[in-house]
Structure 1
């Protein structure tokens, strides 16, 4: 009689679970389970420093490999890897440098010719730059395209720090690009060999099937090209649903809003403009003219401000001073909104977003002040939110109410009753939350004076953990405090970046008891953290 745990279906589920937990490589099992785990263990292979033993092991298990990623050093083992047959290979990720010689190029060509018909994903990353290396990258791209020409399996192509010769695309290469679902160019040089030619090279990708397009900090071989070559590619891809366009260099304004009005990109529902030097007015114009409501918007480090805010919430001022609907109702569909490092975003706007977006699953912004919540008592409707990255600040007890804050209509007695509880009451309702980040992390472009105690007592940080008599985090009967957050049963990652945040042993004990899925706690390391906290977390499998 077969024991249930020995059934192949069970072992495959166990292997998937252990793989998701990053435990598959270190668990001790018997021989039967070892062989049952091999397909999962070897399906996704990452190699860095290669040696003969690693190459031999890879060759023995090559029939399990579906995804291969390796860092190339142009050594003999690298040549041997490229000579191995991978009958089930679907995804290839190569990190290469200028050490590639003729033997490596020949081996790469043979690899693509053997597997080009089956590859669904190709990702090429270069560690080098410069005109000499551009030619080698060009040769490698030609090899990859040659191996995949005539086949319809390739769906994703990513080129990172690789020179792309637009003018050299032949009809077969264009057809190859047209059939992609995802096309990504990161720090890629869009090369034009003849800089004296006033006519920009044409992509010729009209009618492409590309759904996801990413253009991240692309460079141009000729300064006069600016963003026109990138925008031309964007104009060719009319079926895109997701656009990632990042650029930290100053550029002239493009006519995206005008083309949207003309019916371009009818399926666009995800925008990532991180670092794009676009102003509030231009961004608002795009949001007003989008053909369908957005699901995802990353406006990090852009000019997002009052105009974009109104466009996102579909608020249009009529002549009588009232707000009427004019564009898409993005608030009803947005699932992800990133507004870090946006100086034009205010606390009342952040509060309004949290009160207006019921489908929001991920939200990231800089600072929400207690006064903004007290002035807008609406509940947060984003009950499905899983990832929240936001700093909170309280008014000091002796703060002048109304000065600089919209609190003129809020009486002092109401504030005294609701003080220090308004955040807790709203955080408590976010029962789907899996990751919470608060404090001044290195990724937040915020003046530190916005988070520290001012001499005039205007504000101070909102802390989950406090010292002294006000430390109420472990009191389960308290009106507010960590005990209020028992509802965070799905919490996996807690990131606290404020130096005043202190985790006591009792806090750590409370978390491992009440948050059963907790995997990681990140806190500012300083002398106030009690002994035993790290050991307690590690004993429960929590990274600290």
Structure 2
């Protein structure tokens, strides 16, 4: 920001303050000497200041300072320095990046380092992303049993020294790569002497409870030490490493371990199963085996665990697994009482969805089924949203508007279960029928939760509404497939009637597309609650007033019968219509924090739309993605957000 602009804002703010607050004599003089003490200045340049400079701009009482300073300096991250200008090309993108680096380079980094040393007594968490002489000579000598958490990009002598000096205080250690030369675990594994040194050092950390390692190796000679460390841990995460054996036959159960993640660890699957069996109090399990690993042994072992152990597992991550839908459903029927199910890029399909509806509807709080090709426009998505009343986080790829409509979806009530799968009360498919996948038998739930059956009954009667009214995060694309224009308008109205009920929503990532143009409409491309003519873009005037609360559903039905079916852009174009009133129907989403429109193609938000968003959604803090393809409109939107809504961060690609 130019100096003249800063001075102008400072003088305007000072003159507007009059005589100033009582008890703050000399504050105006102080502001004139240092304009950064003004909140108006700080909002504009705060993100470009170092932590020390930002702290110096905040003027608080001594009581607040006593508590605020430890809070600000309890967590420190040492990042990479800016790139030099001669290492960048002359392309336009790199020129923009160079300007950012020039601004960053002009900061006083030595002052920031001095502030870190000055406040080192408050340091509790350290994240090392860059190793510099400052770390080794000025910071490490003062780190004596101060840290509770340590994270590092690589393991080296400096990290080992910090571990040794904080052996009596450290609880969490995260190393994103234990090899300093970025070697691949399958081609150049960690040398034996380095691995032994790492495990011996970790053994000396007395109170270590959370351990996350990537590309780590456990050789046969280190197994005893490794298992001793595991006895203390509550959280263990091993990624892209190798272990000689995970079969601790002679050791006691790992009763402290609550969370376990084994991600592509080079070890026999049977040994991993033995290790899992040694964790009786496991609550979260994430297992992502190497490619082409046979998983039938895992399924067999999993469903034969003691029921009390299965009841403790409330979080399961089966992302990127090689199971088939029936096999994965077999795991879900084994007695788990899941609150969290993550199945990204997995074979999660209709069989698994059946089990979610029948046995998890009263407990499930988070469901992530993105990149699951079997669930793209699957009718069971709507069924799960209707039955899982405790759901708070839901992420999927696509949901068909046709399936959301009670008139089309329930024209055949059996369409939710298009083929016989798991036995239900009164069905001919008896419990214990054989299934594919090793010739194993599928355990069948005796009955669905009573509340879930009531929800399904209401749906069949025509009350087709989502039950997850406490949803806090929604990520889904609505698809209007094979629908005529008047049905598509009704589908849009149905989408908004569902979204408007989610008053607890914190994050919304919304998309829309249809078979006709394969476009994802922006969120404001919704219908008017009181007029279907507006819903299909047939308003007589572009400047027509937005949706009024005086409109009634009756007017919707009456106008829909007389409205013609034609594209608002004419027969020769597929451009998505712009519906201001559709956006304004969501005025109840006052708790929204993040509005993500990155999936929207050809967004056409106006400046008025963004102003309405900023005023109505009082809790909004971030907008993700472009809001308009018109560069003039996009620039005007950016200026509007900066001037009128400085608390909102607009992140987008230029």
Q: TM-score, length-normalised on structure 1?
A: 0.76
- Structure 1 residues 36 and 203, CA gap change in structure 2 (3 angstroms): same
Partner of 2:589: 488
Whether 1:339 and 2:384 are equivalent positions in the alignment is no
Higher strand share: 1
Does 1:367 pair with 2:377? no
Using the alignment, how far apart are the partners of 2:623 and 2:488 within structure 1?
32
Q: Which position in structure 2 is the counterpart of 1:118?
A: 169
CA distance in 2, matches of 1:461, 1:396: 16
Of residues 328, 332, 335, the one that matches 1:287 is 332
Q: How much does 1:510 deviate? A: 0.7
Go from structure 1 to structure 2 and tell me whether the alpha carbon gap of 1:349 and 1:513 turns closer, same or farther (over 3 Å shift): same
Q: Pairwise mapping of residues 445-456 of structure 1 onto structure 2 (< 5 A)?
A: 451=513, 453-454=515-516
Instruction: Provide the C-alpha distance between the structure 1 equivalents of 2:607 and 2:161, rounded to a whole number of angstroms.
Output: 59
**C-alpha spacing 1:298/1:36, structure 2 compared with 1 (3 Å):** closer
Q: Name the CA distance, whole Å, in 2 between partners of 1:276 and 1:305.
A: 13
* Alignment CA distance shift 1:275-1:474 (3 Å): farther
CA 1:137–1:301 in structure 2 vs 1: closer, same or farther (change >3 Å)? farther
Residues 1:241 and 2:283 are matched in the alignment: yes
Specify the alignment match of 1:90 in structure 2. 148
1:422 aligns with 2:422: no
Name 1:349's counterpart in structure 2. 380
Q: CA deviation at 1:348?
A: 1.3
Note the 1:452-531 alignment, pairs <5 A.
Answer: 453-454=515-516, 461-466=520-525, 475-477=546-548, 481-496=582-597, 497-524=599-626, 527-528=629-630, 530=633, 531=635
Distance 2:498 2:545 in 1: 19
Contact 2:508–2:595, Cα closer than 8 Å, also in 1:
yes
- Relative to 1, partners in 2 of residues 1:79 and 1:239: Cα closer, same or farther, differing over 3 Å? farther
Cα distance in structure 1, aligned partners of 2:589 and 2:614: 12
Q: Deviations over 1:6-48 (max 9, x none)?
A: xxxxxxxxxxxx9xx9999436223745565221111011112
1:317-350 residue CA offsets vs partner (Å, 9 max, x unmatched): xxxxxxxxxxxx2111100001111111143111
How far apart in 2 are the matches of 1:71 and 1:462? 40
Which has the higher mean CA deviation after the structures are superposed, 40-49 or 133-142? 133-142
Aligned to 2:127: 69
CA contact (8 A) 2:145 2:168 kept: no
Cα distance change of structure 1 residues 145 and 474 upon mapping to structure 2, 3 Å threshold: farther
Give the C-alpha shift of residue 275 in structure 1: 1.0
User: Residue in 2 aligned with 1:7?
Assistant: none
1:454 deviates by: 2.5
Closer/same/farther in 2, CA of residues 30 and 521 from structure 1, 3 Å limit: closer
| Gap change, CA 1:82 and 1:162, over 3 Å in 2 | farther
Does the CA-based 8 Å contact 2:356-2:384 persist in structure 1? no
Query: Structure 1 residues 55 and 164 mapped into 2: Cα distance closer, same or farther (>3 Å)?
Result: farther
How far apart, CA to CA, are the structure 1 residues paired with 2:502 and 2:150? 40
CA shift for structure 1 position 109: 4.6
Give me the whole-angstrom Cα distance separating, in 2, the residues matched to 1:487 and 1:108: 50
Q: TM-score, normalised by structure 2?
A: 0.64
Query: CA distance change for structure 1 residues 74 and 279 in 2, over 3 Å: closer, same or farther?
Result: farther
Q: Would the alpha carbon gap of residues 432 and 134 (structure 1) be closer, same or farther in structure 2, given more than 3 Å must change?
A: farther
**Are 1:121 and 1:155, in contact at CA under 8 Å, matched by a contact in 2?**
yes
Of 34, 58, 77, the residue aligned with 1:29 is 58
Q: CA deviation at 1:257?
A: 3.5
Report what 1:142 is aligned to: 199
CA distance in 1, matches of 2:515, 2:192: 56
Give a deviation string over 1:376-435, Cα, whole Å, max 9, x none: 551111010000000012257637xxxxxxxxxxxx8xx588343111111110000111
CA drift at 1:494? 0.9
- What is the deviation of 1:299? 0.9
Deviation, 1:464, is 1.7
Separation (CA, whole Å) in 1 of partners of 2:196 and 2:368: 39
Query: Larger C-alpha radius of gyration, 1 or 2?
Result: 2
Shift of the alpha carbon at 1:176?
Answer: 2.7
Q: Matched residues in 2 for 1:474 and 1:272: separation? A: 48
Count the aligned residue pairs: 461
Corresponding residue SS for 2:291: coil
| Cα offset, 1:74, TM superposition | 7.0
Is there any run of 5+ residues in structure 2 with no aligned partner, and where?
1-21, 24-42, 82-108, 411-461, 527-536, 553-580
Superposition deviation, residue 508 in structure 1? 0.1
For residue 492 of structure 2, give the secondary structure of its aligned residue in structure 1: coil
Does the Cα contact within 8 Å between 1:63 and 1:87 map onto a contact in 2? no
Q: Calculate the aligned-residue CA RMSD, in Å.
A: 3.3
Separation in 2 of the partners of 1:474 and 1:64? 56
Aligned to 2:209: 155
Matched residue, 1:297: 341
Q: Contact between 2:510 and 2:523, CA under 8 Å: does it hold in 1? A: no
Tell me, yes or no, if the aligned pair for 1:393 and 1:462 is still in contact at 8 Å: no
Residue 522 of structure 1: how far off its partner (Å): 1.8
Structure 1, unaligned runs of 5 or more: 4-17, 193-199, 315-328, 400-411, 441-450
CA distance in 2, matches of 1:57, 1:135: 40
String of CA shifts for 1:59-96, please: whole Å, max 9, x gaps.
33221111111125375743653332344321111222
| 1:2-41 aligned within 5 A | 25=51, 26=54, 28-30=57-59, 32=62, 36-41=67-72
CA distance in 2, matches of 1:365, 1:473: 35
The Cα shift of 1:370 comes to 1.6
- Which of 423, 431, 450 matches 2:503? 431
Q: Distance in 2 between matches of 1:123 and 1:466?
A: 45
Q: 1:275 aligns with which of 320, 326, 340?
A: 320
Secondary structure in structure 2 of the residue aligned to 1:344 = helix
What's the CA shift string for 1:263-303, capped at 9, x where partnerless? Answer: 3433111111111122101100000013x421000111111
